[in-house]
Amino acid sequence: MHTPDPPLPPGSWLGLLGGGQLGRMFCMAAQTLGYRVCVLDPAADSPAGAVADRHLQAGYDDPAALDELARACRAATTEFENVPAGSLERLARDCVVSPAAAAVAVAQDRIAEKAFVRDAGIPVAPYWPVLAQADLAGAPDGLFPGILKAARLGYDGKGQASVADHVAALAAFRGFGGVPCVLERRLPLATECSVVVARGFDGQALAWPVAENEHRDGILAVSTVPARLEPALAARATEAALALARRLQYAGVLCVEFFVLRDGSLVVNELAPRPHNSGHYTLDACVTSQFEQQVRVLAGLPLGSVRQHTPAVMLNLLGDCWFGPDGQRREPDWRAVLGRPRAKLHLYGKSDPRPGRKMGHVTVVADSLAECLADAAGIASALGIR
């Protein structure tokens, strides 16, 4: 079964692989539309497991648990790209699955991903696949200074090393345990942006407005929407994201991350086959959120409007906010956030704040981007965010 036809009625069960915050927000959106969600996640306590209607506590590749999920649910999706492709294939024998294993397989391997984007005629950073130590010898000098990235399982800048030359790249490759990597040139970034698109099983596709993203230490810190980019550049990013979704025959929510270079050119960084941190603003600033859209696709419903009704600035709340300048654990000053009536606080229910861990986010919505930025700056300073 490949498409939910006719649409799944409210009350139907939807399955979700993964228990993180993206899954939590998916559950909430599904429940708002009257669906029930069964989450498969190995952790006893997880952000999505805590709100799901049912939690199957098992590994993502546990055949019995996957079969149980497929029996319980009419359709299933994932909230993270590192789900084993085989798990999606197994689910697809008995229920509707979005996104398809083949699309997830492209996005979860940087080597396949870059080749896919390049073959679509869309620029990527100059790169060199490194499957074995010997491959490094042939890496062009022009890729240095570069970044060595593990091809799989990286996120939030993890599994990456800055490398000045071949010697450093070799040391980093060994440090990663010899797993397949890509070496890519460090590019001169003017800024970063992303486009979240939703595409139905019927091929209907919509893109939300482009988000302008600021990363710190490889982790998204701030998204500003609409992006302060030339309209022509934003249009090109949107076109590219829609073209990639089409070429992947994608069903679901897909995010395409871009680098905007100092010379004004646009380069695809990576794809995420799921809702994305840079799309969290859609919860508060758009007619339809990325999570509601993920539910709509999965249930075979038409897409909702992606119109942004108010400018937005989203701040990520990392575990760092739970530690004062003295390094002591403290409760963030929530009154400083909630005392601003245009700030929307989202916490993911994680009990253990650690530096760099995504604990929540705040989206400021106001009539103008300038007001959003001013409120966001006040909140950042009250919470001790740089």
Cβ 237 vs Cβ 264: under 8 Å = no
At its nearest, how many Å lie between ligand ADP and the CB of residue 139? 14
Residue with token string 């937005």: 312
Cβ 138 vs Cβ 67: under 8 Å = no
Count of positions on this chain that bind ligand ADP (CB under 6 A):
17
Nearest to 152 by CA among 115, 106, 108: 108
Choice between 155 and 334, CB closer to ligand ADP: 155
Q: Are strands 13-17 and 75-78 parallel, antiparallel or unpaired?
A: parallel
The reply to whether 186 sits near ligand ADP by the rule CB under 6 A is yes
User: What mask, x for binding ligand ADP by CB under 6 A, covers residues 282 to 321?
Assistant: ----------------------------------------
What secondary structure, in 3-state letters, does 348-372 show?
CCCCCCCCCCEEEEEEEECCCHHHH
Cβ 8 vs Cβ 299: under 8 Å = yes
Label residue 373 exposed, middle or buried (CB < 10 Å: 0-12, 13-18, 19+). Answer: middle
The reply to whether 192 sits near ligand ADP by the rule CB under 6 A is yes
Distance CA 190, CA 151 (A): 25
Strand order in the sheet with 36-40: 54-56, 36-40, 13-17, 75-78, 96-97
Tokens representing residue 31 in the block = 């429940």
Peptide bond into 99 cis (omega under 30): yes
Per CB under 6 A, the segment of 90-98, 153-161, 232-240, 279-287 that binds ligand ADP is 153-161
Choice between 186 and 357, CB closer to ligand ADP: 186
Per CB under 6 A, the segment of 3-11, 148-156, 320-328, 333-341 that binds ligand ADP is 148-156
Distance CA 316, CA 76 (A): 28
Cβ 257 vs Cβ 268: under 8 Å = yes
Per CB under 6 A, the segment of 31-39, 43-51, 183-191, 374-382 that binds ligand ADP is 183-191
Interface pick for ligand ADP out of 131, 189, 287, 370 (rule CB under 6 A):
189
The reply to whether 94 sits near ligand ADP by the rule CB under 6 A is no
Per CB under 6 A, the segment of 94-102, 133-141, 180-188, 343-351 that binds ligand ADP is 180-188
Of residues 40 through 59, those in contact with ligand ADP by CB under 6 A are none
The reply to whether 155 sits near ligand ADP by the rule CB under 6 A is yes
The reply to whether 212 sits near ligand ADP by the rule CB under 6 A is no
Per CB under 6 A, the segment of 17-25, 73-81, 150-158, 345-353 that binds ligand ADP is 150-158
Residue with token string 């005629």: 121
Interface pick for ligand ADP out of 40, 73, 88, 147 (rule CB under 6 A):
147
Of residues 239 through 278, those in contact with ligand ADP by CB under 6 A are 257, 269-270
Label residue 85 exposed, middle or buried (CB < 10 Å: 0-12, 13-18, 19+). Answer: middle
Distance CA 57, CA 44 (A): 7
Choice between 192 and 284, CB closer to ligand ADP: 192
Radius of gyration over alpha carbons of the chain, in Å? Answer: 21
Interface pick for ligand ADP out of 105, 125, 245, 285 (rule CB under 6 A):
125
At its nearest, how many Å lie between ligand ADP and the CB of residue 208? 19
Q: Which residues bind ligand ADP (CB under 6 A)?
A: 125, 147, 149, 154-157, 184, 186-187, 189, 192, 215, 218, 257, 269-270
